[in-house]
Amino acid sequence: MTNRAIRDLSTFFVLLFVVLVLRQTYVQIVAAPRIAARPTNPRHALLDAGRGRILASDGTVLAQTVNGRRVYPFGPALAHPVGYASVRYGTSGIEGSFDAALTSPDYSGDPVAQLVALAETLRGNPVAEQGADVITTIVPGIQSRLFELLSHYPRAAGIALDPRTGAVLALASVPSFDPNDFDAAFSALSSDPASPLLDRALDGLYPPGSTFKMFTASAALDSNTVTMDSYFEDPGYLVIGDFTLHDNESEATGYGDLTTAFALSSNVDFGQIALRMGVDTFYEYLDRWGIGGSLDFQLPAARDHVPDKGGIVPGELAQMGFGQGALLMTPLQMALIGATIANDGSEPRPYIVRQIVRNGVVQTSTEAATLASPVSPDTAAKVSKMMVAVVQRGTGTPAQLAHVTVAGKTGTATNPRGRSHAWFVAFAPAEHPRVAVAIVVENVGYGATYAAPIAREIIRTALERGNV
C-alpha cells in the first residue's frame, strides 16, 4: 500500500472518529434531556416506580403506582382525561401532559445516579423520592354519572365545567378502554373501528347543528344586525340563488320574533340572520370567540374546523348560521360557548389540573382566567333569556328540572355518514349559573330526545352535590 493510500485511509478514520465524537456529544449533552423525557424510554419508565398520584378535586385517587404497577381505580370512566402511562406505548391525557411533574426527580443530568437508581428499581428497591401529585378539578360523582349515561350509546361525549372559573368538573368519551390493562389490549384497541382511544370530548369534530345558533344569535345581537324585536318569516324553506335551504324535517315556524326563531330552532330564520350579518361580521365574531384557533387548555385538543373565509358563498354562510356546512366543532368548544353566555359574555379559560403538590408543598396553582370577552354582558343576558325559552316552551323541554331554571339549546346535526348527531348545550341555574354542559351523541337523531336528558341529569347531579 502506498504512503498516499495509508494517509487517505488514516484521514478517513480520523474523520469518522470526529463524526462519532460529535454525535455522541450531541446525544449526551444536547439531546439527553429530551431523550430521557420520552415516555417510551424504558429507563425512564422503570424509574417511574416513584411516579406521583393523580387526584380528584376531593382527594380521591384517580391514578397511583402500587407495587411498581400503575393503577386506575375508575377504569374506563376516566381513561381519556387521566390517560395511561405505559412502558411500551408511552403516555396520554394528564399522565402525558403532566409527565414531568409526576415523574420522580430527574436523573438525566447525572448518568451514574440514573444507572444506580435503575439498578435499585430492578432489584425491587425503587427510588425513595416520589414524583409530585397532580390535583385535578374532576368531581368523581359527576364524572361517574356522566360516563354512565353516555355509555348507553355506542359513541358519545360530554363535558361539564364551572362557567365562573373554567374548571372542568367532568369529561368523558365512549367507547372507552381500561387503562389498567392497556398494554395487553392495545393491539385490539388501536384496530377497533369504533376508535375507543379517541377522546371525543376534546378531539371529536362534529357539525354543531342548531347549538351553534347560540353563537349566531350572540353575534347578530352584539353587532346590532338584529334586535330582540326583529321579526322573521319562515315558510319552511329559503331560496338563495340556485340553492334552497330547508328547516329540519321540512318544518315551518311561520312568522315570529327572534326568541321564537331561537326557541323553535328555525334554520330558515337563522340562515337569514347570517346573511344579514355578512361574511365579514360573521368571521369577525368567529375570531373574537377564538373559534378555529388553538385553545389554551392543559390537555391537547383539536382545533375547530372553520372554512376559509375567501371561499364562502351565500349558501354556505347561511348554513353556518345554524351550525351546518363545513363547520366542525369539539364538545369542549361548544361547552365554552355556553359557559361564555352564562358568564356575562366572558369566555373562561378551561382547566382540568388545579395544583401540583410535591412533598406536601404546592408547587404550582392554576387560577381562573379569561380567554376573551367576545360579546357584551347585555348580549349574553339576552341570549340566556332565549335559552331559557328553549327549555320552557321550545325544543329543549326534556331538559327541564323542578325548581331550577335551565338555559339550553338543542342541536340535531346532519352528517353524510348516517343519522344525525344529537346535541345539547346548557347551563344552570340560569339566574346564577354554576354548571355548564355540552353533550353529543353520535348518529341517533334529535338532540331533544337523546342529548337533553343526559344534560339534565348532569346538571341535577352537579347542583345536588352543593360544591359547585
Catalytic residue IDs: 210
Omega before residue 429 within 30° of 0, cis:
yes
Q: How remote is the C-alpha of 186 from its chain's centroid?
A: 23
Please state the φ and ψ torsions of residue 93, each to the nearest 5 degrees.
55, -145
Phi-psi sector, 204: left (phi>0), alpha (psi -120 to 50), beta: beta
Q: What residue has cell string 469518522?
A: 16
**26: which 3 cell numbers?**
450531541
Residues ≥6 apart with Cβ < 8 Å to 406: 388, 391, 396, 399, 400, 426, 427, 428, 429, 430, 456, 459
Q: What is the DSSP string of 332-378?
A: HHHHHHHHHHHTTT-EEPPBSEEEEEETTEEEEEPPP-EEE--S-HH
Distance from C-alpha of 406 to C-alpha of 387, rounded to nearest angstrom:
8
Nearest to 338 by CA among 302, 390, 274: 390
Helices of type H across 75-206:
79-82, 93-97, 99-102, 111-122, 140-150, 182-191, 200-203
d(CA 416, CA 445) in angstroms, rounded, equals 13
Could you tell me the sign of the dihedral formed by the alpha carbons of 38, 39, 44, 47, in that order?
A: positive
Q: Name the burial class of residue 108, with classes exposed (0-12), middle (13-18) and buried (19+) by CB atoms within 10 angstroms of its CB.
A: middle
What are the DSSP E strand ranges found in 391-463?
407-415, 418-428, 435-441
Residue 182, beta-bridge partner list: none
Q: Which residues contact 242 (CB under 8 A, 6 or more apart)?
A: none
- Alpha-carbon distance of 340 to 370, in angstroms, equals 10
Distance of CA 304 to the CA centre of its chain: 11
Residues in the chain: 468
Radius of gyration from C-alpha coordinates of the chain: 26
Q: How far is residue 279 from each of residues 63, 225, 237, measured CA to CA in Å?
A: 48, 13, 21
